[in-house]
Structure 1
């Protein structure tokens, strides 16, 4: 992988645009080495950390990695945006990465695959997201969708082909849909919260991508488009697309950090995770990065202002740190 640091002069908006399109980034320190912690004379750590998984968590992981490497220039962090499921299946559970970011919990089948390969996943909650439904800025017929309307639009059972098929007051224009692939945790969470696990499933006649920036571009480019993605990418593109409120039976609620924090934005508020490989925590540079992430998970500046998610509160942070320290002790003992 090409090693490429995001310049401090580059805005988070520009970085999300570039990284969201590329799907991978190498955040290299001044000194590189193979896996295995050691002194480097700058922060005392060196080695490589490999991270794959959720595109939703990707910008948060990137922000943490950038700051960690400011203090530990000998640590090389490779980040890939593969989708939660793609990360578990192709990278983490086969033992190829040290962390897997995820926008939904690991599944029993994934845990079984990890176990077969000697990988013990340690679940760490790192933030809260408000999954956001977006439409084109020129869409003047809808500002809010009920959960039922949202389910109808995306259901595989008799999927509507026009906006007027959903609501006769809306234009007789074709629905153009953009969203994540079935390797994405966002896709899985959308099915769980909107379509139902036992429902007819998610329609497949839509433009599917692992790159959230592509969803933004697709919706921005067509008056008839609709899509969904993590709040961080919407928050960096508020001039490009319009977010819809969601009515879960108690009136319309717009996605925001505040409505996600209070739990008012239902059912699309969700926890975000990173999963650490316990064996990797035996290496000091990996353990220290995990600690660093959680120690900064309450940061309003990083998590909310820079990336666009809800930070952990101190109680939740302490619970996650205790879980991590237990895993580190087990790995290093």
Structure 2
């Protein structure tokens, strides 16, 4: 009877303590599996975030360009600057341009004073200007953008000369020609030139004497004969002066016997309404053709330079990237549209090398 009262043990109730240990072990294993799964998910998420963050950082765009760019100097590069500024604004709409093109000397002066990072000029710097830049702590970088030329123009209807010697140019435009009002009225005209010019009225028309155009006339057209005669190479003071090239061009077209002074770009606007005069340098009559201007063989050729403050280029990313754009090959079409003549391929390459070399040498110096 006692036997029958003792319960029979089965698998589920054999050794309760051992059963509890086995259950605890199973629970711990399950917990470990859950913990491992959670850890794997957390690690995977962290890895994704890390990779995404690294990728996002690598693909992040640089901060937009801000501020303003001041450009001063000669109007010779107005067309190129306007076109380039328009292209630059499409990519960097927050950058403003302040452009005032009143002359090479004004622009270079402001550059050397640190008031303008960019100056366009139709000539190189003088020794005095180099000294001024040095005193102001400014290193100007000279970049050749193109070439233009000063041309003498006449009306085809007047039967004007097709070619003038430098001596005749001085006789008609130099300071000693004051009061001469007929083509053949100057006593300084060489006999060879007298036979090639008309005898009618003469009306000299040009921009102000302070303009870059008249600087070319004085320094490259009049200086040779003025030196021989021991006088200052200045244009006559009684010629008709107009503030803009458009006014000079229109007055030259309207005035009988006119001898107008323009740039090649200004001449192209009116097509055949005016005719350019070739210049005889002693060997031959040289016309203001594209080839003669590109080679500087035409004596009244002038460069179109962009001077850049090295200090501004190193400290102002907007200035640096704008100059990068101007030196890009895409600017060639703007140079042509402006009436300028492209530099040679070697000159364009040299300008880019000069620019990059100056930036590399500058490092982080201001």
- TM norm structure 1: 0.77
For residues 171-224 of structure 1, the C-alpha deviation after alignment (integer angstroms, 9 at most, x for no partner) is 341x32222334333322222211117443222222334522222122122122
Match of 2:339 among 294, 302, 308: 308
The answer for the alignment partner of 2:355 in structure 1 is 324
Q: CA deviation at 1:137?
A: 4.4
Q: Who is 1:58 aligned against?
A: 78
Shift in Å, 1:155:
0.7
- Report the alpha carbon displacement of residue 84 of structure 1 after superposing the two structures with TM: 0.8
Question: How far apart are the structure 2 equivalents of 1:86 and 1:209?
Answer: 19
**1:10 corresponds to:** none
2:310 is matched with which residue: 268, 278, 287?
278
Q: Displacement of 1:51 after TM fit?
A: 0.9
5 Å-filtered alignment, 1:158-169, equals: 158-159=177-178, 160-166=180-186, 167=194
Q: Is the 8 A contact 1:298 1:311 kept in 2?
A: no
Give how far 1:286 is off. 0.3
Distance in 2, Cα, partners of 1:79 & 1:240: 31
| In structure 1, distance between residues paired with 2:62 and 2:342 | 29
Which structure has the highest strand share of the two? 1
1:177 corresponds, among 193, 204, 208, to: 204
The residue number in structure 2 matching 1:97 is 116
Residue 317 of structure 1: how far off its partner (Å): 1.8
Tell me, yes or no, if structure 1 residue 229 matches structure 2 residue 262.
Answer: yes
Which of these residues, 226, 233, 237, is aligned with residue 201 of structure 1?
233
> Which digits, 9 at most, give the CA deviation of each residue in 1:99-152, with x for residues without a partner?
111111111112222333333221111112132111234322323222221222
Unaligned runs of 5+ in 2: 1-60, 187-193
Residue 298 of structure 1, CA deviation: 6.9
Structure 1 residue 86 and structure 2 residue 106: aligned?
yes
Q: State which of 141, 145, 150 in structure 1 corresponds to 2:169.
A: 150
Whichever structure has more helix as a proportion of its residues is 2
Contact 1:83 1:102 in 2 (8 A): yes
Deviation at 1:302, TM superposition (A): 2.3
CA distance in structure 1 between the aligned counterparts of 2:303 and 2:328, rounded to whole angstroms: 17
Equivalent of residue 250 in structure 1, options 283, 307, 310: 283
Q: Distance in 2 between matches of 1:52 and 1:62?
A: 13
Give the CA RMSD over aligned residues. 2.6
| Alpha-carbon distance change, 151 to 319 in structure 1, aligned in 2, over 3 angstroms | same
Summarize the Cα distance change of 1:315–1:117 in structure 2 as closer, same or farther, 3 Å threshold.
same
- Is the contact made by 2:150 and 2:302 (CA closer than 8 Å) also made in structure 1? yes
Q: Verify the 8 A CA contact 2:73 2:108 in the aligned structure 1.
A: yes
Q: Distance in 2 between matches of 1:82 and 1:274?
A: 15
Instruction: Deviation per CA, 1:276-306: give whole Å up to 9, x if none.
Output: 112210211101111111223872x3222x1
Instruction: Name structure 1 gaps, 5 residues minimum.
Output: 1-40
1:309 partner SS: coil
